[in-house]
Amino acid sequence: MDTGTHIVMGIALGGLALADPVVASSSLTTTAVIAGTIIGSQAPDIDTVLKLRNNAVYIRHHRGITHSIPAVLLWPLLISGVLWLIIPEANFLHLWLWTFLAVFLHVFVDIFNSYGTQALRPFSKKWVALGVINTFDPIIFGIHVVGLLLWMFGFNPVTTFLIMYVVIVVYYISRFAVQSAVKNSVKHTLPDAEEIIVAPTMKFFQWRVAAISDKHHYVGRAYGRSITIYDKFDRVPLPETALVKAALKDRNLSAFTSFSPIFRWEITKFEHIHEVRLIDLRYRNNDYYPFVAVVHLNEELEILNSYTGWIFSEDKLRKKLDFLSN
At 283-323, the pLDDT tens digits run 888 888 989 999 999 999 999 989 988 887 777 777 776 65
Range of the domain at 210: 191-234
User: Residues 224, 247: one domain?
Assistant: no
The overall average pLDDT reported for the chain is 91
Give the dihedral of Cα atoms 294, 300, 302, 306; nearest 10 deg: -20
The string of pLDDT tens digits covering residues 174-200 is 999 999 999 999 999 999 999 999 999
Residue 176 lies in a domain: no
At 124, the pLDDT band (50, 70, 90 cuts) reads: confident
Residue 57 lies in a domain: yes
Residue 218 lies in a domain: yes
The pTM score is 0.87
The string of pLDDT tens digits covering residues 250-289 is 999 998 988 888 999 999 988 888 999 999 999 888 888 9
DSSP H helices, the chain, are 3-16, 21-24, 27-40, 55-61, 69-86, 92-110, 138-152, 157-189, 242-247, 251-259, 314-325
Mean pLDDT of 221-230: 92
Cβ proximity of 304 and 273 under 8 Å: yes
Residue 94 lies in a domain: yes
The string of pLDDT tens digits covering residues 138-174 is 999 999 999 999 999 999 999 999 999 999 999 999 9
User: Residues 222, 248: one domain?
Assistant: no
Q: Select from 130, 151, 175 the last residue of a domain.
A: 130
The yes-or-no verdict on residue 65 having pLDDT over 90 is no
Whole-number Å distance between alpha carbons of 131 and 174: 13
Residue 323: the pLDDT is: 54
Could you count the other beta carbons within 10 Å of the beta carbon of residue 298?
11
The yes-or-no verdict on residue 51 having pLDDT over 70 is no
User: Residues 76, 35: one domain?
Assistant: yes
Domain count of the chain? 3
Mean pLDDT of 10-28: 95
More confident residue, 125 or 264: 264
